[in-house]
Chains A and B, each alone.
Chain A
Amino acid sequence: MTVAFDYTRSTGPVIGRFLTGLRDGHVVGGRTSAGAVVVPPLEFDPVTHEPTTDFVEVSSVGTVTSWTWVPEPVKDQPFDRPFAFALVTLDGADVPFLHALDVSSPDEVTTGMRVRVRWAAERTGHINDIACFEPVAALDEVEGGAGGPDRARPQPRNEAATEQSRSGDVPAAPVTGVVTRVSLDYDYAASPEESLFYRGLNEGRIMGQRCPTCQKVYIPPRSACPADGTPTEEEVELSQTGTVTTFCIVNVPFLGQKITPPYVSAYVLLDGADIAVLHLILGVPADEVRMGMRVKAVWKPRDEWTFSLENIDHFAPTGEPDAEFDTYKQHL
């Protein structure tokens, strides 16, 4: 399972100044009230708490003050093969700055070694405009120091800034925002109760569990009764018919909608259950759906079944008389 989101952030005047500098090919620090040049600049002075306004361009060459080997890079790091992270104090700065260092083994890096910024091929106003640091000596040996298959990979870019930097001869506008894509991969494990529920659906059955304390039947089953905190262990196969307790008519179209509005989304209280499930009501005009209407599960063709509640295509009216209000009023 992957959860991903593009975090869009405004930069403010200080980080924006720093990122604008990177886009334009130089490194900008900020001077603190104590006179220290800090890269990246601090938004507020650590002593006076005033906004940083004194910006200083520092060298793109500096000295490694600490480093660590990265034997097994994780996704989206500057390299997808082993490399070093380093703290580098650039000439003209007083404190170090974190970035990747392009070396192929820990034997090639020492504290105190001289390194320089390798700029990304395309710069947009993002921390990844610095592709990495690289040893100064290696640069002297290999003309330009760039190229080759082991180059740092391109990184997510700020599209807005890209547009600005392509805007012709006029000086590009300052960077005011960045977009950072965050994508996280998870191995999703179903709980025993979720396994029971989804395995049941794959066999055309609707499975719930009963709380041994209050006797309530939960669907989907959960690891503990939310009323009592008691594990719900007794398995209960539920009826395929139930009662509409409440519903809404969907009239508003939205992206990814699978059914043409108007249609009805309803809570269906299956016979024998104590909690309703949300599902679609089809097979009846939307304006005829009502509280108390008796409905039954309509399953997709068996060869389309999987471990999903979507095996039930929708619920449709049974034609029985409506349920009395008293039979479901506790479930509204």
Chain B
Amino acid sequence: MRDVAVVGFAQRQMPEFDGSPTCVELLVPVFKELYEQTGWTRKDVGFWCSGSSDYLAGRSFSFVQAVDAIGVIPPVNESHVEMDLAWAMYEAWIKIQTGEVDTALVYAFGKSSAGVLRRTLALQLEPYTMTPLWPDTVSLAGLQARTGIDAGLWDERAMAEVANRSLTDAEKNEYAIRKGGSSVDELLARPMYADPLRKHDCAPVTDGVAALVLAAGDRAREVRDRPAWLTGIAHNVDPMGMGVRDLTRSPSAQRAGAALDLDGVEVAELHAPFSHQELILRRELGLADDVAVNPSGGALTSNPMFSAGGIRVGEAATRIWSGEASKVLAHATSGPALQQNLVCTLDAATEGAGN
């Protein structure tokens, strides 16, 4: 296996982007920032892969229009996933493993606010018995949250603790669109929204783009003194139906985590768009109490569709670059109620790379 590291990361997030659904206007400055971080031009990028959905954009082939932001004369080696940035990164990681390329820039974009996001996402459900009922994302998360409350696995206070810590940490994150912790009691005094969820238990609708740069071996060392080496990456999926899996658990997250060496993880960026989902993920990944979870504020404070999972990777990688941590974990989710999960470890050392 080749040693591959995350060496670049840029993001833009906002409650409502007043521009085109292809977000080209946001991608151009993000790519510029990455050229500055790496010292590269677009011609140094061996492979490009994007994550997005036409259902968000409300137009067909939106990812093709987004390619304008790259500039494609001469032609570039390019691909797309109808998934989060983290899965675009997975494709790029495999591409680098094949030996065909040494470098990749992966990006994702989404204008969630163009439609009604929680409704649009019903289109990812089973189309015969689920989508026609239009079960919105918040409702499906509410059903999951209550199963854990009823089973005594967590309570509203534990959920509010997650929200309060996230809102407090987000104060240090210039990109977070919701920030400002208060106290658990203050949060619990707020009205119920989608009982059992309060609004602060649910990620805000967020527009935005993000991008990551991957490089193999010496190409990574040329860019950064401390590249964030991808020492392990795995993803798994659970059944779609809400009735045929234990909603208090996320077996796919557990399985992805179990495929990796998580010993010594100091920081974990978990993609939990609902407060109780962080509690599920902590348990499934077996994270100890001294692991710092979501120091960025996490998805509860900004959750741009198709970027937010990859942003977890970027936020985790920055802790390695800065020397703040030596081993970190990043997680991304997709589908209803933590159905699909990707977990990766990033390390300051290459030892064990290419899990």
Contact = CB atoms under 8 A, between A and B. Distances in A.
A127 B244 contact: no
B71 A230 contact: yes
B143 A39 contact: no
B75 to A, nearest CB: 10
B127 A180 contact: yes
B196 A68 contact: yes
B131 A189 contact: no
Given A77-B133, A228-B73, A67 B239 contact: no
A226 interface: yes
* Interface size class, chain B: 35 or more
A96 B243 contact: yes
Given A68-B197, A191-B19, A9 B128 contact: yes
A327 to B, nearest CB: 21
Interface in B9-57: 17-22, 24-25, 27-28, 31, 42, 55
A155 interface: yes
B19 A192 contact: yes
Given A11-B128, A127-B128, A224 B135 contact: no
A188 B196 CA distance: 33
A1 interface: yes
Contacts of B69: 223-224, 229
B68 A223 contact: yes
A9 B130 CA distance: 14
Contacts of B19: 189, 191-192, 223
* Interface size class, chain A: 35 or more
A156 B132 contact: yes
Q: Which of A39, A178, A229 has the most CB of B within 10 A?
A: A229
Given A71-B194, A85-B135, A186-B58, A224 B71 contact: yes
B114 interface: yes
B247 interface: yes
Interface in A192-206: 192, 194
Nearest to B239: A46
A97 B21 CA distance: 36
A98 B242 contact: yes
A85 B139 contact: yes
Contacts of B130: 98, 127
A227 B73 contact: yes
Interface stretch (B80-88, B95-103, B118-126, B152-160): B118-126
A236 interface: no
Q: Which of B22, B68, B129, B143 has the most CB of A within 10 A?
A: B129
Contacts of B25: 191-192, 223-224, 231
Contact of A3 (B58, B67, B242): B58
B195 A224 contact: no
A111 B58 contact: no
Q: Which of B17, B113, B142, B144 has the most CB of A within 10 A?
A: B142
Given A7-B127, A19-B128, A87 B143 contact: yes
Given A40-B129, A180-B131, A191 B71 contact: no
B288 interface: no
Contacts of B22: 223
Contact of B134 (A38, A69, A74): A74
A227 B68 CA distance: 7
Nearest to A95: B243
Interface of A: 1, 3, 7, 9, 11, 15, 18-19, 38-40, 42, 46, 65-71, 74-78, 85-87, 95-100, 106, 111, 126-128, 155-156, 178, 180, 182, 184-192, 194, 222-231
Given A96-B243, A231-B28, 16 more contacts: A11-B128, A74-B136, A98-B143, A98-B243, A111-B146, A127-B128, A184-B119, A185-B115, A191-B25, A223-B20, A223-B69, A224-B69, A225-B68, A228-B71, A229-B69, A230-B71
Interface of B: 17-22, 24-25, 27-28, 31, 42, 55, 58, 65, 67-73, 113-116, 118-120, 123, 127-136, 138-147, 150, 192-197, 239, 241-244, 247
28 contacts: A42-B244, A66-B144, A67-B146, A68-B138, A68-B142, A68-B143, A68-B195, A69-B194, A70-B136, A77-B133, A78-B133, A85-B143, A86-B143, A87-B242, A95-B243, A100-B133, A111-B150, A180-B127, A180-B132, A185-B116, A186-B115, A187-B115, A223-B19, A223-B69, A225-B68, A226-B71, A226-B72, A229-B70
